Structure 1
């Protein structure tokens, strides 16, 4: 396709992709703010709150690679629209849920919709726009997404304190009602004509099942279930080694740099997932913030990333990835340890804000170079696959952290109902998050040796607020081994951001 960004069709394409991906982005950032109110209204215990977050992350992480492959085979617009409709119906079910069981099932269904629409949104931009306009279109997409991520917790808090927590989910329905007809009328269909072979459905099912069993084992303290998850994970690895067209090709980990950066990703996003899950609860349960107050309190981290991501990418390009991937996690660890000062009588300016500013600066230093290094660690034809694996790894890390951290910190089923108990366990959890970040920093320092070109800043990571995962490469196609995706023109100029 050769749509120009300045045309009416080009603007419609950007609007559609921003609306679609914005739904999934909002639900990954605003639900934490609503957790205390959900717990009160539905009589949920701590495990129910963990599953409210993790059911979504589980299906999203397990199926996001398969979602990109479906779009390439059956049409990117078609799969994107199916994903938006699926997500909206699941959101409606979340908003109407009479109990926690229905809510958790609906959240899992939301994750399926997210896995269909998230890779499709950027793939549509990559496939639709003229090569000269792709970089700027991706920059606009990431910029609007960054704004959405920055205001998401604020909007979530306003909805929870205003019309109620159910509107955190119901708001997706009118967004989808606007997105779908625009997509059908203005966005051209595209597919990869060279996509062939079988889908690795078995691999996707085994991967998701392994994550589900391990997560269940951690949340319910059922070690047999957790052990079964580890066994299924080993079977998944064996199956992927033998299949001719695996979802997760083992050969991609032959790149030492790619393996190292993914280990850093696991550490970093595990800490982020655990921190943001507990911090929003802590501000409300212990410090007495309203949902709106807690959401607003967290704004500094995403605002800093929104404003400074581009400079971070340029800095990483000059220095190479080793320094930012070492320094960034250490700054984040310092920010999380500063949160130990936040108690029942905490001052926002004196106690909360410094911690979030330090954490936000660490995320600024880290996220854009991490994504650029992932893309530079493999050959161009596998950049989309590498980005998808890195994104899925980050989401899986957050999923496991939300499951494991309350257990390791000794949080009981009713911990979030007692300020004293929650504060005590929070003080045990934050050093754990900081320790995981320090481990990630050490891995980066010891293992990452790459030329400075590896710091290349791609348009999709110039403006990013990746709290739950790094940004995806526009082409997230799942390609059969030995083939390269058709990028329909040169790669975007990394200097042409927003």
Structure 2
């Protein structure tokens, strides 16, 4: 990922690897498909996981967020490692880690073990993605390279949209565990094929050295930040609400919770990271992130837009899946089928993008996409109520999907438009990192909004049931809020619980509507930032 793409080792135009280069491309695409689908496939399976493993909403958020967080934290570093020791080697090792952790996730008997497995999946994904991009760059030339990169980008967009539907089908037909088991045979095919048909390449001109300090500071800072955002509801934003224990460590203070301390650690680590990187740049040392790239307006504003948009994009799909299954009683497959409207809108937009971009320019295509995303979310929010028909939600989801299609297809080219060729590898890694950080924090923030609002709404709705004992009300407030409303699926079959189910459905609907508005605000901020993208990027 780091280094001048023009100077990387290029595969020779002879021999078995060259002859089967397009088969190699198919195998790389399969590897990319696994990790991209895994970022979204779990969304519709989350309600089933909550019920099966008995976990709460905080654990469910971690199941989603830890994958994106670890993926983001390691992308740039692992990309550089591949340039040094061999991209094919890192790709194959990444498949081993990813497939092994997928097996562990499928077998997980508890939420804690599932979260650990998702962490290792993130490590494997971070090894696979940058390696495939660099291998494509080294294997193909001229027009073939443009075609290969088009395939690579199309796979990412298509698989992200396919994830919820595939996850819904597997969860409904078999089990949520098959959302992970499916990676085993496909990963084995990618590994064996990659071993036989993908050429090794590395950057012979890469500078020696490793920015270990920067890596530790950034990783610790991001982990602390997302921990604080996700677990604030459980442990208390300031005063302890629950005892924090981790392995043999127990939080020793009764006057302050671990959450403000975690957020303070995050702020200190990220500040120190920026200072360390600036100092290393001045000394001419190897850096994890060349901060000078952010002096380029298109790169700076483009990355800020990508990060903020990801806050809303991934968070809204997460809470919608919970709403559709908890409040409306949809199966995972039916929920995935409805969310396919987002993919349909994105597909329509992809056919229009070349014409729009050539007429208006890439920057305006991004602006249009951001505006459509905002319209989709803000028209969706008022429709989120317990008796709504999925058909009524579909137009907003399609509009939102069209916005995603316009924005994401052009945002990368806008971000990299003014970046020097020699730094394009690192710049690509940084923009991918921005998206993944945004998705992890977005799920945390919007999930926290849902949890906080759901507890309040449930208490309010249950208090309107005549004759409901206070102890019973408190028990169901805790049960409904801790499971993000997914306990309603079980309660629907319990005689005499009709009033409680109705109250829970209304509470979850209201909380989801609030979370959708928060996601919409993030997208609106992204739209405003996208207006600052320099006009010189238009092409």
What secondary structure, in the 3-state scheme, does the structure 1 residue paired with 2:317 have?
helix
Q: Which deviates more, 11-20 or 401-410? A: 401-410
Mapped contact 2:32–2:155 kept (Cα < 8 A): no
Is 2:175 the partner of 1:164? yes
Question: How many equivalent residue pairs?
Answer: 452
Q: In structure 2, how many angstroms separate the alpha carbons of the residues matched to 1:314 and 1:80?
A: 36
**Could you tell me which residue of structure 2 aligns to residue 297 of structure 1?**
338
TM-score (norm 1): 0.87
What secondary structure, in the 3-state scheme, does the structure 1 residue paired with 2:482 have?
coil
Matches within 5 A, 1:362-373: 362-373=403-414
Counterparts in 2 of 1:314 and 1:380: CA distance versus 1, 3 Å: farther
**Could you tell me which residue of structure 2 aligns to residue 405 of structure 1?**
446
**Could you tell me which residue of structure 1 aligns to residue 384 of structure 2?**
342
Matches within 5 A, 1:276-355: 276-309=317-350, 311-340=352-381, 341-349=383-391, 351-355=392-396
Mapped contact 1:63–1:112 kept (Cα < 8 A): yes
**Could you tell me which residue of structure 2 aligns to residue 488 of structure 1?**
none
Mapped contact 2:384–2:509 kept (Cα < 8 A): no
Mapped contact 1:46–1:415 kept (Cα < 8 A): yes
Q: How far is 1:181 from its partner?
A: 1.2
Counterparts in 2 of 1:71 and 1:306: CA distance versus 1, 3 Å: farther
Structure 1 gap ranges (5+)? 457-498
Is 2:106 the partner of 1:95? yes
Is 2:491 the partner of 1:450? no
What secondary structure, in the 3-state scheme, does the structure 2 residue paired with 1:416 have?
coil
What secondary structure, in the 3-state scheme, does the structure 1 residue paired with 2:485 have?
helix
Q: In structure 1, how many angstroms separate the alpha carbons of the residues matched to 2:355 and 2:289?
A: 31
**Could you tell me which residue of structure 2 aligns to residue 465 of structure 1?**
none
Counterparts in 2 of 1:307 and 1:327: CA distance versus 1, 3 Å: closer
**Could you tell me which residue of structure 2 aligns to residue 275 of structure 1?**
316
**Could you tell me which residue of structure 1 aligns to residue 264 of structure 2?**
227
Mapped contact 1:206–1:233 kept (Cα < 8 A): yes
Q: How far is 1:22 from its partner?
A: 1.0
Q: In structure 1, how many angstroms separate the alpha carbons of the residues matched to 2:158 and 2:399?
A: 20
Residue number among 122, 137, 159 corresponding to 2:133 in the alignment: 122
Counterparts in 2 of 1:357 and 1:234: CA distance versus 1, 3 Å: same
Q: In structure 2, how many angstroms separate the alpha carbons of the residues matched to 1:216 and 1:331?
A: 32
Q: How far is 1:144 from its partner?
A: 4.1
**Could you tell me which residue of structure 1 aligns to residue 466 of structure 2?**
none
Q: In structure 2, how many angstroms separate the alpha carbons of the residues matched to 1:435 and 1:145?
A: 26
**Could you tell me which residue of structure 1 aligns to residue 34 of structure 2?**
23
Q: Which deviates more, 302-311 or 13-22? A: 302-311
**Could you tell me which residue of structure 1 aligns to residue 508 of structure 2?**
422
Q: In structure 2, how many angstroms separate the alpha carbons of the residues matched to 1:389 and 1:144?
A: 20
Mapped contact 1:338–1:354 kept (Cα < 8 A): no
Counterparts in 2 of 1:332 and 1:116: CA distance versus 1, 3 Å: same
Residue number among 77, 85, 95 corresponding to 1:84 in the alignment: 95
Counterparts in 2 of 1:277 and 1:253: CA distance versus 1, 3 Å: same
Is 2:118 the partner of 1:107? yes
Is 2:520 the partner of 1:434? yes
Counterparts in 2 of 1:348 and 1:402: CA distance versus 1, 3 Å: same
Is 2:479 the partner of 1:394? no
TM-score (norm 2): 0.80
Q: How far is 1:190 from its partner?
A: 0.7
Q: How far is 1:180 from its partner?
A: 1.0
Counterparts in 2 of 1:421 and 1:32: CA distance versus 1, 3 Å: same
Residue number among 398, 406, 428 corresponding to 1:357 in the alignment: 398
Counterparts in 2 of 1:210 and 1:220: CA distance versus 1, 3 Å: same
Q: In structure 2, how many angstroms separate the alpha carbons of the residues matched to 1:339 and 1:309?
A: 22
Mapped contact 1:21–1:121 kept (Cα < 8 A): yes
**Could you tell me which residue of structure 2 aligns to residue 198 of structure 1?**
209
Q: How far is 1:99 from its partner?
A: 0.4
Structure 1 or 2, whichever has the larger Rg, is 2
Mapped contact 1:84–1:176 kept (Cα < 8 A): yes
What secondary structure, in the 3-state scheme, does the structure 2 residue paired with 1:140 have?
helix
Q: In structure 1, how many angstroms separate the alpha carbons of the residues matched to 2:17 and 2:349?
A: 26
Kindly report the root-mean-square deviation, in angstroms, between the aligned alpha carbons of the 2 structures: 2.0
Structure 2 gap ranges (5+)? 1-10, 233-258, 455-480, 487-503
Mapped contact 2:344–2:398 kept (Cα < 8 A): no
Mapped contact 1:146–1:306 kept (Cα < 8 A): no
Mapped contact 2:224–2:263 kept (Cα < 8 A): yes
Residue number among 170, 180, 185 corresponding to 1:174 in the alignment: 185
